[in-house]
Structure 1
Amino acid sequence: MIKAEGLTLVYGSGTVAARDVSFEIGKGEIAGFAGPNGAGKTSVIKMLTGIMKPTEGRAEIAGYDIVTDAMEAKRRFAYISDNPDILVQLTGAEYIDFIADIYGVDKATRQERAGAMAKRFGIGDKLNTSMREYSHGMRQKLMIIAALVHEPEVWILDEPMTGLDPAAAYELKLMMKEHAARGNSVLFSTHVLEVAEKLCDRILIIDRGSLVYNGTVDGILEENEGLDLEQIFVKMTSGDLRE
């Protein structure tokens, strides 16, 4: 449901943010996307979601090219960025309505879906409050609710756990599992390798713009017997695994 073929991004300065990145995430899969700071995770995610046009290569969401068939592709995924501090002059409910209007979700359906998610995240009584009064974590919860209100097949999440309290992080992980169990796909970037090891079917590791691993979590653990995912990550990205 998510397909990247040779994605390359070169900035005008000549800096290569991503180089020939290819992978595929199928139905029912949760994939973790890991890499050091500045390795290219966000650049790849921005190409997958159509925010940035690749210098070379292509990406598909649910069979639709993100550049040549952008509207159809964008109807089929939710994107949650790592910055929840947008349109904070709105109330939570107004922001959800804004996003729901874009996707054509009717009033009754959006209220039912958003209300259920807000209850799970513990902010059901805060939706009519200005987002200026929200903490970072509350804004992150609201961004997640709004992004998922149209119930897309594909979720693309950039550091979605950042700022969430433990209960909300637990709920989000549970929601990811439920979504994948219905035959859908999830891709999320993370620095927390323990989460990826427990939650993911597939792991992608990027370093200095290039994908250095693309495979199952079980596979990478078998190939590196005696090491956990965090140790494998350090070994692959720095080459210096100290006890």
Structure 2
Amino acid sequence: MVAKFCAKRMHDVIAEEWDREIGGAAEWQRRWEAVFANSFERTDNEILSDAVAPEMVGSTASVVVLSGCQIITSNCGDSRVVLCRRTQTIPLTVDQKPDRQDELLRIEGGGGKVINWNGARVFGVLAMSRAIGDRYLRPWIIPVPEITFTARTDEDECLVLASDGLWDVMTNEEVGEVARRILRRRRRSLSMEETSPAQVVAESLTEIAYGRNSKDNISIIVVDLKSKRKRQQRPPLIS
């Protein structure tokens, strides 16, 4: 419920907050940080005020804004965004887990506990330290995103945004290798297939995760960062 609400609503909230936030050209990073912080908090409040879901329901949220020269990521929870750049797979987010040192200190400093129950969990319940929703675990679970800025290059292949259902069973490097192999093969193809190369990558990664018996939600979005190559047109047949 919360995940669906975020998917439908969050991009509108971010656009509205961008229009509200004032900042000069030199302050663009600070402006984006404020926009994302306000947007995540506002979305979290709307879930409560609109009675979208019970207090025991929540969601991760990974958001990417692309410009001509920047990849701006905002992440809350243990979903992850990675960038495939030539032969590298670069994580653009850091999973917010209860046993991450800074998160553990924050939770325990606020009187919370992290208990190892099938992995580190806040009070033995939630396996992430930040989320939208999950208000029953406030103030230890917070809807505060972490934001990164990455300059784009001509060597960037794609972005992979995915929930932990993928990352629980595949490493960043494995995901990057699959993505690069499929994208390069599909780009070389001259066939006019309806399914985009990025969609093929997402479906292939989903199949691999299922095949490895992933036990969590598997949500994957792949963004092709290469400019679309003009397809060669076959000459018309004349009879």
Rg bigger for which structure?
2
* TM-score tier after normalising by the smaller chain length: under 0.3
In the superposition, the TM-score normalised over structure 2's length comes to 0.25
Structure ranking higher on relative contact order (CA contacts 8 Å, 6+ apart): 1
